[in-house]
Structure 1
């Protein structure tokens, strides 16, 4: 997903991954999937998927740390790999958590968060994804988990989009529903950031992250129209636009999306 981190970070995470695999009696193999700045490292481990997350010792236990475990309370109608086991430990200045999942039987839709080509997803995929988003939105927003903070969106939407925040309808969202976090199953991966977000936030992410491929974006706009056409989804769309434009100078794929997002805002 992201490039490998600095060698010292990579070596430390690889050693921790080996320790986790030994604890579970497995061997990590195959392609390594790095998180942002090496904060996470994942790969296949036998018939399972092994995900390792780290934090500075004493700072573990926040929303991102607990997200995958707490997501087990979400409805079974939201398709995601089962989380079987968790192991925590601390070594020196870092705390680690190893999570052992069922291995998703199907590949990711894209190796990057954004689409570079039309993935050719069938109509059944979109129906299942729409049903999953509806089931997730029906979950009462948890009071202790925020995927997007209200103070944040009220600040960045006017600053980066020129639009004003009107009413906000809150719902429960995955919070990072890009094309590297969904499979062709579909299964939805990486639940560390789930929680309360403005209605339509996940659907807006899928739509806006497809803008580099206009034909794919048009298809998504049609398939998720039941969400995106609702007035309540406007704040969710503006939030994702603002996040892309805010981070365009430090994240390559956001820089690529900036132009199409500005065109979208001009038509909104």
Structure 2
């Protein structure tokens, strides 16, 4: 049983019925969901089970599932030194009507609530201990090895993608060649971290990416709160000072300032100023 939607039509799980999907996962995992805990996003749904675990269900088109597979949360369970919920198991099945797949991953419950939305409008209340745990996890992640490729926004990040995003938004005679590729979360924002205890979750898109992608992504999601954006830059100073970190800063800015820029985005001016300074730094290198 699947959602009943016309072939080729975009599925938005925030507004379409997910009852049949939830029932199917309950049967497969032999559990029950607490109805008042269901969280709905555009392409995923999550809920707490009666055995005090969490299940995240995602629908993804086949052309968005690369040769590396579609098992980011499962593969992330092998990572060490990172604060993340333990993975318990999964169920995967094909959509009966479209070229898409469904996947439900069960994990331990988070140690706290998500800090906020992907882009914040006010500073979160997190401690210095939280920042230390945050840095320890990101440093541990970047020191490990994987054959996976990060898929931010479900698109594999490549040199061509980086160059196209930067060149498509910013002029300037500077080299966009990435020098260092390291394991990254791939979707680091305030909606995927908890407080007061730090924990990083939603590992579907992790893999190798240019150094600084995670730091730049979190900085970009903090720009509406200048003091918070500055704190991110201070905490991840080594990333931002690296050449690849500067390229990732431009990459993140391109998503704010590019062709799809929203004229009311409160981050526009801060992103524009940072992009100008970063281009000057790259041209001076």
Normalising by structure 1, we get a TM-score of: 0.84
**Does 2:188 align with 1:177?**
yes
Match of 2:107 among 101, 107, 111: 101
Aligned structure 1 segments of 4 or more residues deviating by more than 6 angstroms? none
Please, which moves more after superposition, 61-70 or 131-140?
Answer: 61-70
Match of 2:46 among 32, 38, 42: 42
What are the ranges of 5 or more consecutive residues in structure 2 without an aligned counterpart? 1-10, 152-156, 279-285
Matches within 5 A, 1:85-234: 85-90=89-94, 92-93=96-97, 95-110=101-116, 112-140=117-145, 142-147=146-151, 148-163=157-172, 164=174, 165-184=176-195, 185-234=197-246
Partners of 1:137 and 1:171 within 8 A in 2: yes
Change (3 A) 1:103 1:64: farther
2:8 aligns to what? none
Match of 1:5 among 7, 12, 24: 12
Partners of 2:26 and 2:33 within 8 A in 1: yes
Distance 1:73 1:267 in 2: 39
Change (3 A) 1:34 1:258: farther
Change (3 A) 1:90 1:226: closer
Change (3 A) 1:20 1:167: closer
Distance 1:247 1:187 in 2: 34
Please, which moves more after superposition, 199-208 or 87-96?
Answer: 87-96
Matches within 5 A, 1:20-59: 20-24=25-29, 25-36=31-42, 39-46=43-50, 47-55=52-60
Distance 1:194 1:45 in 2: 25
Change (3 A) 1:27 1:167: closer
Change (3 A) 1:199 1:90: closer
Match of 1:262 among 251, 266, 272: 272
Partners of 2:149 and 2:209 within 8 A in 1: no
Instruction: Report how far residue 74 of structure 1 moved.
Output: 1.5
Instruction: Report how far residue 128 of structure 1 moved.
Output: 1.0
**Does 2:25 align with 1:16?**
no
Partners of 2:59 and 2:102 within 8 A in 1: yes
Instruction: Report how far residue 166 of structure 1 moved.
Output: 4.3
- 1:190-246 per-residue CA deviation (whole Å, 9 max, x = no partner) reads 111111111111111111211101121122222222332233421221221223333
- 1:5-52 per-residue CA deviation (whole Å, 9 max, x = no partner) reads 378x721x331112212333222433433333xx21112223111111
DSSP-derived class of the 2:270 partner: helix
Partners of 1:114 and 1:209 within 8 A in 2: yes
Partners of 1:28 and 1:50 within 8 A in 2: no
Instruction: Report how far residue 169 of structure 1 moved.
Output: 1.6
Distance 1:242 1:40 in 2: 25
Normalising by structure 2, we get a TM-score of: 0.80
